[in-house]
Amino acid sequence: MGNTLNFFIFLFYIMTAFSIWRLMASYSKSLRAYQIIIWLLWLLAIICHAYSMTPIFDNNYSVNLSINYALVAVAFIISITLYISSIVGNTQFLGIIILPIISVIFLFDFSNMPVNVPLNNFLFIHVIISLISYSILCLSAAQSLILKIQEKKLQSNQPIGLITSLPSLDAMDNLLFKILALGVLFLSASLITGFIFLEDIFAQHLAHKTILSILAWVIFVLLIFSRKIYGWRGSKAANITLVGFFILFLSYFGTKTVLEIIL
């Protein structure tokens, strides 16, 4: 059952990403029916995705956030956040990068020790805020990649294909920093709640995770202030965002991989 469900989740996400690509590459962008197909495929993927997360919860008022379930949870937050923002705003193009990456998660079947977090513990608040911050900053990384490609194509006078369907470069740059600012807000809350709720980060093997998270936070904050002061934007801002996200990714999933699988 699990393998079959994973296959359908993978299929729905891939079909949604392909449909978004086809819609953007098509000159008949006014086709409302095509857009409805995208919403339906994506919604099916989200529903199946949500159902696949039921094993995370057990009968002991705790959730299993081992690396496989943590990846699935983060992917779910990213997917539903992007789905909603695509309806109310112009962010659907991010699905071309984000959705295939999410789909790949369901091709693997990790087997590792459970990491249970009690639901009636304040630590759970810290975990949820952390997952949300990683999810939002993942969207900023995807936005950075698309922004870099768009800027490169425009500079080489090759604004063809999907590039012509994207918002203007200024709008893309502003969107990047809006996502980044929201992500930094949640990352700040994650760090604060971590220091409050975690009794001893060294005893809990979390020192390296905390240091890397703080380093990523510093990079993101410096980037935001540098934009206001020095006007950093475009590829430079995108590159720094990607560096910050890579460090943040290592802080959480790199740490979990080492502790749960390698060691």
Which token pair is 67? Answer: 């690396």
Which segment, 111-115, 162-166, 200-204, is predicted with the most confidence on average?
162-166
Query: How would you class 176 by CB atoms within 10 Å of its CB: exposed for 0-12, middle for 13-18, buried for 19 or more?
Result: buried
What three-state secondary structure class fits 118? strand
Question: Residue 186 region, left (φ>0) first, then alpha (ψ -120 to 50), else beta?
Answer: alpha
Strand ranges (DSSP E) for the chain?
62-64, 116-118
Confidence of residue 24 (pLDDT cuts 50, 70, 90): confident
pLDDT 10s digits, 65-103: 777 788 888 999 999 999 999 988 888 999 999 999 999
Angle between helices 95-105 and 32-52 (to 10 degrees): 30
Sign (positive/negative) of CA torsion 50, 56, 194, 113? negative
- d(Cα 201, Cα 18) in Å, to the nearest integer? 43
The chain-wide mean pLDDT, for the chain, equals 83
- 116-118 and 62-64: which strand pairing? antiparallel
Range 24-44 average pLDDT: 80
Query: How would you class 29 by CB atoms within 10 Å of its CB: exposed for 0-12, middle for 13-18, buried for 19 or more?
Result: exposed
* Cα diameter, the chain: 60
Range 105-132 average pLDDT: 73
What three-state secondary structure class fits 77? helix
Sketch the domain layout of the chain as residue ranges. 2-262
What three-state secondary structure class fits 167? coil
Range 209-232 average pLDDT: 90
Range 9-29 average pLDDT: 85
Judge whether residue 262 has pLDDT over 50.
Answer: no
Using a CB cutoff of 8 Å and minimum separation of 24, what contacts does 46-49 make?
A: 46/76, 46/79, 46/80, 46/83, 48/5, 48/8, 48/9, 48/12, 49/9, 49/75, 49/76, 49/79
Q: What is the pTM of this model?
A: 0.87
